[in-house]
Amino acid sequence: MKKFALITTFFVLLFACTNAPKQKEQEKQQLPNTPETVALSWLEDYYNNRFEKAKLLSTAKTKIMIDTIKELIFTDAEEEEVGTFKIADLVCSTKNDSSICKFLYQEGDMEMEDELPLILIQGQWLVDDELRS
């Protein structure tokens, strides 16, 4: 009986380990992967306070920026209510493995032009932004 349990455990672990890379590859394939789609997806996640989702499309320094902003803004509250916003006029200029995406952020009467830098890392476009003064 112990042998059966040991063999069963071995096969369960074996199949669990072989499925993990497939799941990771499927998740990677589901991510947007053009500068425009990555920028739009990231901006929507970021401005809707879905920070963990935005971090999936972020470089290491952008993840640090998100964590810093999260700590500054959401010290006590889990999440604050998100206002209605719109990302308009998104245009990306791409050269080799870097891209700058310019856009117009609109919320109520407020409009703000901004830009978002992206870089291509191992075949995946990622937002490469950091805190600015």
Summarised one tens digit per residue, pLDDT across range 117-132 is: 999 999 999 999 988 7
49 assigned to some structural domain: yes
| Tally of structural domains, the chain | 1
The pLDDT of residue 93: 98
Question: Is residue 133 in a domain?
Answer: no
- Closest to 43 (Cα-Cα) out of 78, 82, 98: 82
Residue 18 lies in a domain: no
pLDDT single digits (tens) 56-72: 999 999 999 999 988 88
CATH number, domain with residue 113 = 3.10.450.50
The answer to whether residue 87 scores a pLDDT higher than 60 is yes
Give the residue numbers spanning the domain of 61. 34-127
Has residue 9 been placed in a domain? no
pTM: 0.73
Judge whether residue 6 has pLDDT over 50. no
CB 43: neighbour CB atoms within 10 A?
21
User: pLDDT tens digit string along 102-111?
Assistant: 999 999 899 9
Share of the chain above pLDDT 70, in %: 71
Check residue 2 and give its pLDDT: 55
Structure tokens at 121: 């890392």
CB-CB neighbours of 58 under 10 Å: 23
Amino acid at position 105, single letter: Y
Q: Does residue 132 form part of some domain? A: no
Answer yes or no: is pLDDT of 11 > 50: no
| Residue 96 CB coordination number (10 Å) | 7
Q: Is residue 116 part of a domain?
A: yes
pLDDT digits (tens, 9 = 90+) for 19-75: 555 545 445 568 999 999 999 999 999 999 899 999 999 999 999 999 998 888 765
